[in-house]
Structures are given as C-alpha cells and as structure tokens.
C-alpha cells in the first residue's frame, strides 16, 4: 500500500499543473504529444521591435494532453535577426520567469519558433526544422529538446486578425546543460578546435548531413557551449541549434553566405577541421546505426505530406550514400577540410 501511495504521489509530480504542482521543465520536453496553446499580446509592437530583446506583456494558455489547463501572464520579445526583418511575425522569446506565471516559471526563457507567414508552406518549414532537432536528439544527448504546439495567436489591440499555426518551443539552455551534468556559458570567445573533439566532429558531420553552413563556434553563431560540472579541465561541448538555413529545410529565404561559395543551401559543404580517417569512421558508425531511427522519425510524422517526407528522405539518402563510399569519406572529411 505504501508503494502504491508513493507511486501516485510521484505521478502527480509528473503531471503538469495538477493539485497546484508546477510544470517540470525537464519532463515537459520528454512528452511527444502536441500542446494546444493560445498566445495573446500586442503583435504590432512585437513586429516593430529592433535590436536587443525587449519584453512586453502577454498571456498564454496551455492545454496539456491530460486536459490540464494553465493560463498565466508572461513576457514575450522578438528574437532573431533575419527572420525578424523578413517574417510577418518574428520568432519569439517567451519569458516564464515572472511572479505572474508560478506554474510555468520553471520553463525559464524559451524560444518559440513560428512560421514566417500563415500559409501551409510556412508551417511545413516549421515541421521540417522541428524534425531536425529530433534527429539530433537521436544521435547525441547533448542536444536541445523541442516540444510541438498548436498556437492560436490574438492581438490585444485588435489590429491583426487572429490566426492559428503550429510552432515549437526549444528547451531552455540551462536545462539542457543541467540535464547533461553541465553548465552553460554565454558569448564565450573560443576557437572551434578548443572544444571537445568527439562532440565537435559529431556536430560538423551532422551539419553537413542536413546541409547547414549557418554556424560558427568563434562567432557564437547558432551554437551553445556547455561545460562539465565535475571536470574543470574538460573542454566545452558544442551544442547546435537554429537549422532553418539548412538544405534539408530549404526555406525560400535561405541564401548561402558568399564565403561558402555555393548557389543553393541544398549543396552540402563540410565545415569541420582535420580528423584522422579512423575518427571520422567512428563517428559515422553512429550515423549508420541511427539511420533507421532517423528515417522512421520522418516517415511516421503524421503532420507532413508524404511527398515532403519523401523529399527529406531523398536528401538524406545522398548523405548516406556518401558515407558508404570510403574514398568520398576520405576526400570530404579528411583531405578537403578547413584549415582556419
């Protein structure tokens, strides 16, 4: 009986919002089910934001799979550079660290990735980027978890018509670090090869697999550094994020940087540094072992059209054909690598 009561108590802690319990930020990102949400704020004010994050008042309602509903006041700010200028509604940072959001407080500050417009094609890009995060979760635990939402947006000034669209939240970086027994550090200026060698190899090959060149360790561009809590001498681990410029997503606004020397983001360019062939093959073994899981993830994602999923698989097939050819592996990942 005591064990039964203990199990019930633990279950109540796992379920968000029940009996006054706060949402567990780690378990929040373990659940695969879609959360129905409503977000209300001054959208025009959000569109006009420039420069650094400026939080404004907003209210959010979340309906969890167990039918628990939480409605609290939070802060929202526009984020990003290109998408803030390009998109009708910019990507947002949701700040739950307020006295007005006690049940959602533990979520911290979360990035909400939304469509650049309100068309089906915009939502399609969201789904593809969401799946890329899930793909990297399969390959590497030191990665950002994501949670899919179906969000109803409303403007508190009634100047923008209400609309509904899928979006996803990205795990708080401090939580991601803590989950991996690490701590985060922001805006650290460090050379690419001054990071953990094995993880950096994984990141570089993954970015090549999805056709993404929009990242840089020294420039803190779309990467986070996390540090081992128990080993002060350990080199930091690189954790990638923001994959909308990848060839696998192939967004209409994604244009490769001139320095890359390609005409399209779908053309793969390896941006890793020198590794011995044995090191590369060791990492590629992980990609090969996880191939079926990655393909199943895409094929079983019900919200994407079958043709879109087929195109994603075809693009990944190109990568997997390459890594089965030892001559190509040696050329791409050993011989023709970056030197600076």
Residues in the chain: 340
Q: Are residues 50 and 106 in the same domain?
A: yes
Please report whether residue 140 resides in a domain: yes
Q: What percent of the chain has pLDDT over 70?
A: 92
Please report whether residue 139 resides in a domain: yes
Number of structural domains found in the chain: 2
Q: How deeply is 149 buried, as exposed, middle or buried, from its count of CB atoms within 10 A (0-12, 13-18, 19+)?
A: buried
Please report whether residue 60 resides in a domain: yes
The domain boundary residue, chosen from 173, 199, 220 = 173
Q: Are residues 194 and 105 in the same domain?
A: no
Q: What is the pLDDT of residue 27?
A: 93
Q: Is the pTM of this model over 0.85?
A: yes
Q: What is the pLDDT of residue 90?
A: 84
Radius of gyration of the chain measured on its C-alpha atoms: 21
Mind listing the pLDDT tens digit for each residue in 289-323? 999 999 999 999 999 999 999 999 999 999 999 99
Q: Could you tell me the residue range of the domain that residue 259 belongs to? A: 181-335
Q: Are residues 246 and 205 in the same domain?
A: yes
Q: Are residues 95 and 210 in the same domain?
A: no
Across all residues in the chain, what is the average pLDDT?
Answer: 91
Mind listing the pLDDT tens digit for each residue in 229-279? 999 999 999 999 999 999 999 999 899 888 888 999 999 999 999 999 999
Q: 306-323 and 197-209 are packed helices; what angle lies between their axes, rounded to 10 degrees?
A: 130
CA-CA distance, 254 to 222, in Å (whole number)? 15
Please report whether residue 7 resides in a domain: no
Q: Are residues 161 and 186 in the same domain?
A: no
Q: What percent of the chain has pLDDT over 90?
A: 79
The domain boundary residue, chosen from 147, 173, 199 = 173
CB 120 within 8 A of CB 163: no
CA-CA distance, 205 to 221, in Å (whole number)? 17
Q: Are residues 285 and 169 in the same domain?
A: no
Confidence of residue 85 (pLDDT cuts 50, 70, 90): low
Please report whether residue 16 resides in a domain: no
Q: What is the pLDDT of residue 119?
A: 87
Q: What is the DSSP letter of 290?
A: T
Nearest to 208 by CA among 98, 119, 322, 116: 322
Q: Are residues 41 and 93 in the same domain?
A: yes
Q: Are residues 216 and 304 in the same domain?
A: yes
Within 31-180, residue ranges assigned H as helices are 43-48, 82-86, 120-139, 173-179
Q: Are residues 165 and 272 in the same domain?
A: no
Q: Are residues 224 and 133 in the same domain?
A: no
């Amino acid at each position: 009986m005591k064990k039964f009561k203990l199990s019930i108590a633990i279950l109540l802690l796992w379920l968000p919002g029940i009996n006054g319990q706060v949402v567990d930020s780690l378990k929040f990102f373990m659940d695969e089910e879609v959360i129905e949400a409503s977000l209300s704020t001054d959208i025009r004010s959000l569109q006009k934001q420039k420069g650094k994050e400026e939080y404004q008042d907003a209210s959010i309602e979340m309906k969890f799979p167990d039918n628990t509903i939480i409605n609290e006041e939070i802060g929202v700010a526009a984020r990003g550079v290109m998408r803030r200028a390009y998109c009708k509604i910019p990507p947002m940072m949701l700040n739950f660290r307020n006295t007005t959001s006690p049940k959602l407080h533990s979520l911290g500050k979360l990035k909400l990735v939304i469509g650049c417009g309100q068309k089906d094609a915009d939502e399609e890009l969201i789904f593809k980027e969401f799946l890329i995060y899930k793909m990297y979760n399969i390959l590497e635990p030191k990665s950002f978890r994501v949670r899919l939402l179906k969000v109803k947006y409303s403007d508190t000034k009634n100047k923008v018509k209400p609309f509904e669209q899928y979006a996803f939240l990205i795990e708080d970086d401090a939580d991601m670090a803590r989950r991996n027994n690490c701590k985060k550090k922001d805006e650290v200026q460090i050379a690419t090869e001054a990071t953990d060698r094995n993880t950096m190899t994984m990141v570089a090959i993954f970015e090549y697999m999805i056709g993404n060149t929009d990242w840089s360790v020294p420039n803190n561009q779309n990467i986070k550094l996390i540090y081992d809590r128990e080993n002060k001498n350990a080199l930091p681990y690189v954790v990638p994020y923001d994959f909308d410029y990848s060839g696998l997503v192939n967004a209409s606004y994604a244009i490769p940087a001139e320095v890359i020397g390609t005409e399209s983001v779908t053309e793969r360019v390896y941006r890793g540094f020198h590794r011995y062939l044995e090191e590369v093959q060791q990492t590629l073994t992980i990609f090969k072992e996880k191939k079926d899981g990655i393909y199943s993830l895409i094929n079983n994602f019900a919200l994407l059209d079958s043709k879109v999923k087929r195109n994603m698989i075809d693009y990944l097939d190109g990568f997997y054909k390459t890594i089965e050819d030892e001559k190509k592996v040696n050329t791409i990942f050993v011989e023709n690598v970056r030197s600076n």
